[in-house]
Structure 1
Amino acid sequence: MDPLLPDPQDPRLSRAIEGVDENGQRKSIRVIEERPLTIYLNSQEIVTAMTIGDHPEYLALGFLLNQGMLKEGDQVTGIDFDEELEVAVVRTEGITDVEDKLEKKTRTSGCAVGTVFGDMMAGLEGLALPDTPVHTSTFYDLSFQINHTPSLYMETGAIHGTALCQGRQILAYMEDVGRHNAVDKIAGWMHLNGITAADKVLYSTGRLTSEMVIKTALMGIPTLISRSGFTAWGVDIARQVGLTLIGRMRGKRFTCLSGEHRLVFDQDVSQVPDEDKKLRRKGAKHD
């Protein structure tokens, strides 16, 4: 299977906008598009997410999976996307527990996420992630590949990227205005393609927050890496479930705050080249 990579030339995802720079000179830059996607589970409206608009089917399915709204026994029979209405409908064989819960609630914008946060946390109870070792040499290879893959992040900033990796290979690289959306797209892609998680690594440009850690753990992925930093609660949850959590991955440096038992230190860091200064500036600017 060929890797699924960003398409920064897709005209739907960004557009040129003209303004002035610090010297008062006219300047045109590429700016990321942002549009709503309303996600339905069968006939029940769940949430409206702001997204760049690519891979809506993966995003809708992955969101429902990562929020615990679709359980193991729920059989997905189809996903319909209406571009004009900006609606994605995930259909299952029968009614789900979530639909029954939400029918009894008066919801405000975004609170669908809150109704299932407890369910997400409950899903971590008794969770055992596989003890698949990860070689530190692969981190540097993956970081170099991701930093040099044509992407909207490199073209426009104001966007997050998430890559699903196996060894030194990138399997799928998704981007979106929200780091959670990018992870959800990965989850939807994995589910529809029957991709297993035990030997995978998730690489993100976004902060390692509690929800990022929870989603990665519930997906069954044992290692999460980011260019950015941590939140304390994210670290606490990672330690609770035994997730290998690596942040501040830039150039030769990284910091592991959880799950160091999986690390195989096989890389002589003196042989790792420094990160390109242009990448460092862009990363600092847009994290």
Structure 2
Amino acid sequence: MIRENVEMYKDSGSSKGSRTKIEKVRSDGSRKEEQDIIPGEILLHLFLNDKKISIISCSPGDLIELASGYVLSNGYIDDHNKINLIEFCQENEMVENFNKDNGIIAENIVIKIKTCEVSEKDIMQSGPGGIKYISSGCGSMDDNAAAVWPPSIRSSMEVGGDIILGLNRKNLSKQKYKNAFGGLHSASLFNSSGQMIMVMEDIGRHNCLDKVFGHIFINELDPSNKIIFTSGRVSLDLVFKVSRVSIPVVVTNSSVTYSAAMLADKIGLTIIGYARGNRFNIYSYPERIINSKARKA
């Protein structure tokens, strides 16, 4: 089981924030040297059955969750029980050459995942050498995920509008690292009563989601009665990812794209945007949200 293997390995010891020297410039032209704390960043080299599939720019920490959530939400496997082993490895020659050839100064972490029932044709990637680079600043959707129509969300869960109104405040209050030095996205997992289960922070909004997904699978939680709150924009690629995990409600304090809303409505995924203050907008599958007065506030 994946849980047994996770306990065998320690997560990266890197800091989510690093102190650095800066020059602060003001409108009067004055300059002052100060110390600042900025987000840390590493490169995660992800191998699936001994084939390197991705290089992910991410925040240190919760890397086992990130790796398992990534392969599941991007369609490499459809069941977490197919993961036989997840392990941290020493940097190998391929990683060293990547740094040397690209002039990148960053800590590199290697994670290898062993699965059953994954054929070579299922590992379809773009990029040099068949390796996909996932930056922290933009969405990305693997060929695996895009080639298959996303599964429908089957859940009888209903959520009160008052619950939705409280999620942004709860999410903000638990962002330990963003509150300390900024520069991070977050994603939180809630139950239908609005109780927070956990929160993940990362420089990439998609990484946050994959870390949450990995937590769900590792801890064998039921996703059909959960809500995920994200601080980032909800776009089409996010709908594909969430559909593979079968979470019925996605909430953001930011915007929602038209394509994401249209696809989500077809597969029964409820998307809520601009959930902050005393209002929110339901963009798809509104029947899952009860108490219409809260929705119109």
Structure 1 length as normaliser, TM-score?
0.81
1:250 aligns with 2:276: yes
Match of 1:172, SS state, is strand
CA contact (8 A) 2:55 2:131 kept: no
Shift of 1:13: 1.0
Alignment partner, residue 130 of structure 1: 155
One-letter code aligned to 1:114: D
Change in 2 beyond 3 A, CA 1:83/1:263: farther
- In structure 2, distance between residues paired with 1:135 and 1:104: 41
Match of 2:44, SS state, is strand
Residue identity over aligned pairs, in percent, reads 21
Shift of 1:66: 0.3
Once the two structures are superposed, what CA deviation does each residue of 1:122-166 show, in whole Å capped at 9, x if it has no partner? 243xx2431311111112332222111242222232221000101
Shift of 1:17: 2.1
Match of 2:130, SS state, is coil
Alignment partner, residue 179 of structure 1: 205
CA contact (8 A) 1:199 1:221 kept: yes
Alignment partner, residue 53 of structure 1: 60
- In structure 2, distance between residues paired with 1:14 and 1:241: 39
Once the two structures are superposed, what CA deviation does each residue of 1:70-117 show, in whole Å capped at 9, x if it has no partner? 12386211110136561111112x3512x3444898525439953313
Structure 1 window deviating more from structure 2 (212-221 vs 58-67): it is 212-221
CA contact (8 A) 1:37 1:49 kept: yes
Gaps of 5+ in 1: 1-9, 273-287
Alignment partner, residue 227 of structure 1: 253
- In structure 1, distance between residues paired with 2:61 and 2:85: 18
Change in 2 beyond 3 A, CA 1:269/1:136: closer
- In structure 1, distance between residues paired with 2:287 and 2:111: 41
One-letter code aligned to 2:231: T
One-letter code aligned to 1:122: W
Change in 2 beyond 3 A, CA 1:26/1:50: same
- In structure 2, distance between residues paired with 1:225 and 1:160: 14
Gaps of 5+ in 2: 1-12, 92-107, 135-139
Structure 1 window deviating more from structure 2 (61-70 vs 239-248): it is 239-248
Shift of 1:224: 0.3
Change in 2 beyond 3 A, CA 1:207/1:145: same
- In structure 1, distance between residues paired with 2:109 and 2:14: 17
Alignment partner, residue 25 of structure 1: 32
Number of matched pairs: 257
* Residue of 89, 93, 99 corresponding to 2:112: 89
Alignment partner, residue 117 of structure 1: 145
Match of 1:87, SS state, is strand
1:165 aligns with 2:190: yes
Structure 1 window deviating more from structure 2 (81-90 vs 248-257): it is 81-90
One-letter code aligned to 1:67: N
Alignment partner, residue 210 of structure 1: 236
CA contact (8 A) 2:174 2:199 kept: no
Change in 2 beyond 3 A, CA 1:195/1:257: same
CA contact (8 A) 1:56 1:81 kept: no
